[in-house]
């Protein structure tokens, strides 16, 4: 069957984030309020995975090869660091890690990330839907934590990005 993942605004407006079909995965590890609502669109069967098995699998890093200005760059991100965070800090964590590993300081105290980041690459690195990546990027851009200039990603405020990663803001 199919499952719809949606977000409900405080005014009650529903916005579909994704529609999942057979063999698609979804889930949560942490308790507390959920950011999304799940709705069965058709009859479906849901299979569960034991937390221990998932945690063992999540302890391993995922490696991606991204095109960079000086050649391809390998980025390794531990799955476990992404599973328990909301979209904004999850994306911030990936951008912060890219800045830590590949960031180039600029004269105006920003950090240039010399990696060609596509929406697809960000979706793969974060495990988020296209809409969730777009929304998280828009928030970070509006807050002037990051910027895109001439096709390059610039981190304006690394300390602020780190606060987003840690969930402080």
The tokens for 163 are 């606060």
The stretch 137-146 carries a mean pLDDT of 94
Domain spans of the chain?
3-48, 59-165
| Separation of CA 43 from chain center | 29
CATH 1.10.10.10 fits 59-165, yes or no: yes
**Helix, strand or coil, per DSSP, at residue 122:** helix
Write the DSSP string, 37-97: EEEESS--------HHHHHHHHTSEEEEEEEETTEEEEEEEETHHHHTS-HHHHHHHHHHH
The tokens for 91 are 């994306």
**pLDDT for 2-49, tens place per residue?**
888 888 888 988 888 778 777 776 766 556 666 778 888 899 888 888
**Helix, strand or coil, per DSSP, at residue 38:** strand
**pLDDT for 42-81, tens place per residue?**
998 888 888 788 777 777 776 767 666 667 767 666 666 5
The stretch 136-160 carries a mean pLDDT of 91
Q: Is the pTM of the predicted complex or chain greater than 0.75?
A: no
**pLDDT for 82-128, tens place per residue?**
565 678 888 998 899 899 988 999 999 999 998 888 888 888 888 78
Write the DSSP string, 79-90: THHHHTS-HHHH
């Amino acid at each position: 069957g199919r499952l719809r993942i949606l977000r409900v605004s405080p005014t009650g407006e529903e916005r579909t984030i994704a529609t999942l079909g057979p063999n698609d995965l979804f889930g949560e590890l942490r308790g507390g309020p959920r950011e999304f609502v799940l709705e069965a669109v058709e009859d479906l069967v849901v299979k569960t995975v034991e937390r221990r098995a998932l945690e063992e699998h999540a302890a391993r890093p995922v490696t991606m090869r991204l095109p960079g200005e000086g050649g391809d760059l390998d980025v390794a991100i531990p799955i476990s660091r992404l599973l328990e965070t909301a979209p904004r800090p999850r994306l911030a964590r990936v951008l912060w890690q890219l800045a830590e590993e590949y960031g180039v300081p600029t004269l105006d105290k920003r950090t240039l990330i010399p990696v060609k980041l596509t929406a697809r690459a960000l979706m793969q690195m974060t495990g988020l839907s296209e809409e969730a990546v777009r929304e998280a990027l828009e928030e970070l851009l509006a807050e002037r934590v990051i910027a895109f200039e001439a096709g390059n990603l610039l981190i304006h405020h690394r300390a602020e990005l780190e606060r987003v990663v840690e969930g402080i803001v």
